[in-house]
Amino acid sequence: MTAQGEQEKIAARLSEIDEALCKPETLRSRTLMKSLNTERYSLVKINDTLVDILDTESLLEEMKTAAAGNDPELSEMASEEIPELKERLEKLNHRLKILLIPPDPNDQRGVVMEIRAGTGGDEAALFAGSIFKMYSYYAQKKGWKSEVISARESDRGGYKEIILNLSGNGVYSRLKYESGVHRVQRVPETETSGRIHTSACTVAVLPEAEEVDVEIKNDELRVDVYRSSGPGGQSVNTTDSAVRITHLPTGTVVSCQDEKSQIKNKAKAMKVLRARLLIVKQDEENAKRSESRKSMVGSGDRSAKIRTYNFPQGRFTDHRIHLTLHNLNDILSGSLDQIIEALIKADQEKILAARSKK
């Protein structure tokens, strides 16, 4: 189909969506409303790009005609315009190819982020705390809502584990590349001799799941309640408010004790459980289809070292795309857009390269 035909087809679909969004049955269905708005957002960008392509193609043809004409002055001016128009057309066509990449169905979801101290003892826990703050600052910059679901603090500071929920528009699309091992090289606060240590923490980013995404039957769950406790086993709650949920079919265990209310702790634990089961479900579906969607930067593999934060040199390195920056303090303060944009671009280029080989 020509660009003109494709643009007309998309314009017609946009008209259908706008009409559907005004219908009472759509207004009553949050799921349908969200789906239509997501489709509309994507189609508007494609439509606008197609319009720009058609306008540029038309102008390019006019310049070619003028360049071949008998008016020397007009011919010269038109000849100077042609290279710039060709370059613009090439960029627009490349942008269209990227826009036509099928979107990740999870992109508009919020996320459940799990940060855990890895190798390095107390220093790893302190670093996990730094990473938690980095993402919290980034969430503030983006206007997202941030909520800690559960946390296990370390005796020396930082966290052995902290799980948070980040919600807002397109959160997963920005943070899905953050899963993996984050390594730090610095002189720990716990080190008296000034030696540089290497430690790490792991980050897992799970798309937030709603009840309709994953069916969880009550008879598939074992719910245990117990008293919350702080570091060293000291009782911090005099009632059985802490909740541990075991999903029997998969053996997945989630616990939460941060709230004083058993009901609230159970609700938070269920949010994490749904997110973990959604990932399992989607991984199984993807494996059945093909291996083609695995990408260099979006695999979510927590066993892979993806980053190094070198404090002595103020250096940040993302090993997947060989990106090195020297503004580590800014990055730890939540300035992540430059990194995330580079990861998105690398992912898109890899997908386009794989398509061109077919």
pLDDT of residue 324: 97
d(C-alpha 194, C-alpha 78), whole Å: 67
Number of C-beta neighbours around residue 9 at 10 A:
13
Q: Has residue 142 got a pLDDT over 50?
A: yes
pLDDT number for residue 1? 65
pLDDT tens readout for residues 90-110:
999 999 999 999 888 889 899
Q: What is the DSSP string of 175-187?
A: HGGG-EEEEEEE-
Enter the tokens of residue 89: 């057309």
Give the pLDDT band (50/70/90) at residue 294: very low
Are 150 and 112 contacting, i.e. CB atoms less than 8 angstroms apart? Answer: no
140: DSSP letter: H
Task: Compare 5 and 53 and report the one with higher pLDDT.
Answer: 53
- Written as six digits, the tokens of 343 are 């990861």
- Regarding the domain delimited by 111-211+297-352, which CATH topology (the fold level of the hierarchy) does it fall under? Alpha-Beta Plaits (3.30.70)
Question: 113 by DSSP, 3-state: which?
Answer: strand
Mean pLDDT of 344-353: 93
Question: Quick one: pLDDT at residue 300?
Answer: 41
Task: Calculate the dihedral angle through the C-alpha atoms of 171, 177, 182, 186, rounding to the nearest 10 degrees.
Answer: -80
Dist CA 204 CA 179 (whole Å): 5
Q: Quick check: 196 pLDDT over 90? A: no
| Confidence at residue 166, expressed as pLDDT on a 0 to 100 scale | 97
Please report the pLDDT score of residue 235 as a whole number: 43
Tokens of 62: 């006019």
Mean pLDDT to the nearest integer, 148-154: 91
| Backbone angles phi and psi of 2, in degrees to 5 | -70, 165
Strand bridging mode 180-186 / 305-310: parallel
pLDDT at 299: 42
Q: What is the mean pLDDT of the chain?
A: 88
Determine the topology of domain 218-288 in CATH: Double Stranded RNA Binding Domain (3.30.160)
- Looking at residues 192-219, what average pLDDT do you find? 86
In Å, how far are 38, 203, 232, 275, 279 from 106, measured between CA atoms? Answer: 11, 18, 39, 11, 10
DSSP summary character for residue 194: -
Q: Which amino acid is at 295?
A: S
pTM for the whole structure? 0.80
**Percent of the chain topping pLDDT 90:** 62
Strands (E), 258-332: 305-310, 315-318, 323-325
Segment 225-231 mean pLDDT:
71
Domain extent listing, the chain: 3-99, 111-211+297-352, 218-288
